[in-house]
Amino acid sequence: MHDKVDVLIIGSGASGAAVAWSLADTRMRILCVEQGDWVKPTDYPSNGRDWEARLFSDFAINPNRRARPTDYPINDANSPIKVVNFNGVGGSTIMYTAHFPRLHPSDFKVRTLDGVADDWPIDYATLEPFFAENDRMMGVSGLAGDPAYPPKQPPMPPLPLGKSGTRFGKAMNELGWHWWPSDTTIATTDYEGRARCINLGHCTPGCAQGAKASTDITYWPHAIRAGVELRTLCRVREITLDEHGMASGAIYYDAKGEEHFQPAELVILACNGVGTPRLMLNSVSAKFPNGIANSSGLVGKNLMFHPYALNYGYVDEPLDGNHGPPLCLWSQEFYETDPNRDFVRGYAFQFGRGVAAIMEAIVSSAAGRLPWGEDHHRVYRKLLNHRISLSAICEDLPEEHNRVTLDPDLKDSSGIPAPKIDYTISANSHRMMSHGIARAKEILTAAGASSICVESPILNGGWHLLGTARMGTDPERSVVNEWGRCHDVKNLFIVDGSIWVTSGGVNPTSTIQALALYIADSIKQRLADLFD
């Protein structure tokens, strides 16, 4: 058995790193266990000639395809959207696009404003200082003045428009619709020891330049210097409970498969919206036969992705191809509820550049655009670097039948039951996606594109894992309270996307991290009576 720690954090990704760093100034003994390992920048695909091919092997976004020893399998057969993630120090910030919008003020009040789902027990104003702190820690590039948001001041200038962004900007102006350079965690200037972006273009599977903020190079160096211990290759099997109904620690397997018990005064879960309910459902006891802190029965339920409708076309001149970060602009024109539409809530557009040589060939072949035989070469040359794309990222409302459970048969390499996903896209989301597809076609046409294609939903588009241990003030309708503490177990906290009440229609990492910082701050404010 190991020495007892004050705080045990499980998971070192977006939220785990932020909460570890914030709590470090308490001088408590803090340990984070992570099932993956450190990833060296020299191991990232963009260092080698096989850089694109590795998207289909050890840097595949789908863990079932990637199948590293540090990954766990996910039964996603009953879902039209597949879960994508990364397991390692930094978690899925290693493999994200670094697109960094915040939720909007209205996202926290959907019941009040639109009569659907539930309001959050906190609001945008509460999170605002933590958004700003997180922007500084992660290093956000962007442009102040976006009319779609309350005022904010990104610390670095935005990514370049490039040829693709210029085309989209002109098209959106022609249509009279909102667009703005994205907030992104890709450094456009040298920033806090990170080198600025040099447009490697292959940003998602890790940035060899170090320009993209993943928490292994942002929060973790600070947290470790402040005394936090980060223990890698530790796969947690279950949270344990003591005779008083409090979390007593966690049982994990090390890289050799040996079992350890790590006692702790306080346990914080930061394993994402699939990993956290999986761990909770695997943590059964006499008091919690259906999973720890699950008296509400809501652990694993209300899973929300963001259904993505991808739209792209081809123009008559070469554009940026894959050169430069893939996402550069957003539009919030259709974000807020409009009673004249046939759906509630809304979506954002994120505008992309093109794709690289192999991806263009593979996608176009699968779509039947790229012929076999002599004509292959002629057609391919009309496609490569001529692509222009945008996606509607749609708000997914919570529904209890969308859920994470434990698969009765599938297990990871440590023998721990794997998660099973049951998920359907709602009628509201389908109508929203159709609206987005129609508007995207107008935009692409205005941008001079033809041969317009749609992938809706994006199959491997389950980047955003939300809602499976929701936040609220009512213990019968939520798993954690308004500052992240489990209603049932007063020394067990959750800080990842599981606690989201609704999903908004934007990428969640910025808000996940702001929430983690807010919860850490709430813990610090209440240290004297934290478990009361």
* Residues at the contact surface with another protein, assessed by CB under 8 A: 44, 46-53, 56-57, 65, 67, 104-106, 108-109, 112-113, 123-124, 143, 145, 147-150, 159-163, 165-166, 169-170, 172-173, 178-181, 198-202, 208-209, 320, 323-324, 332, 336, 357-358, 361-362, 365-366, 372-374, 376-377, 381, 384
Smallest distance from another protein to CB 113, Å: 7
Pull the structure tokens for residue 509. 């990492």
179 in Cβ contact with 328 (< 8 Å): no
Distance CA 235, CA 196 (A): 34
Our CB check for another protein shows the closer of 52 and 183 to be 52
Smallest distance from another protein to CB 46, Å: 4
Distance CA 64, CA 41 (A): 23
Our CB check for another protein shows the closer of 143 and 226 to be 143
Smallest distance from another protein to CB 127, Å: 12
233 in Cβ contact with 33 (< 8 Å): no
CA 471 to chain centre: 18
Beta-carbon contacts of residue 340 (< 8 Å; ≥ 6 apart): none
In three-state secondary structure terms, 332 is: coil
Distance CA 505, CA 275 (A): 22
Cα-based angle 397, 399, 402 (whole degrees, multiple of 5): 110
Smallest distance from another protein to CB 70, Å: 16
Distance CA 416, CA 238 (A): 9
How many alpha carbons fall within 13 Å on the CB side of residue 261?
7
Smallest distance from another protein to CB 179, Å: 6
Beta-carbon neighbour count of residue 144 at 10 Å?
Answer: 10
Q: Comparing C-alpha atoms, which of 498, 494, 501 is closest to residue 518? A: 494
Smallest distance from another protein to CB 121, Å: 14
Our CB check for another protein shows the closer of 2 and 170 to be 170
Distance CA 346, CA 344 (A): 6
Distance CA 26, CA 524 (A): 7
Our CB check for another protein shows the closer of 209 and 272 to be 209
Smallest distance from another protein to CB 181, Å: 8
**Cis bond before residue 417 (omega within 30° of 0):** no
Our CB check for another protein shows the closer of 161 and 224 to be 161
Our CB check for another protein shows the closer of 324 and 457 to be 324
Smallest distance from another protein to CB 223, Å: 27
Our CB check for another protein shows the closer of 77 and 357 to be 357
Our CB check for another protein shows the closer of 145 and 257 to be 145
Our CB check for another protein shows the closer of 73 and 475 to be 73
Pull the structure tokens for residue 80. 């039209």
Beta-carbon contacts of residue 291 (< 8 Å; ≥ 6 apart): 277, 280, 281, 282, 283, 284, 299, 300
Beta-carbon neighbour count of residue 289 at 10 Å?
Answer: 8
Smallest distance from another protein to CB 467, Å: 21
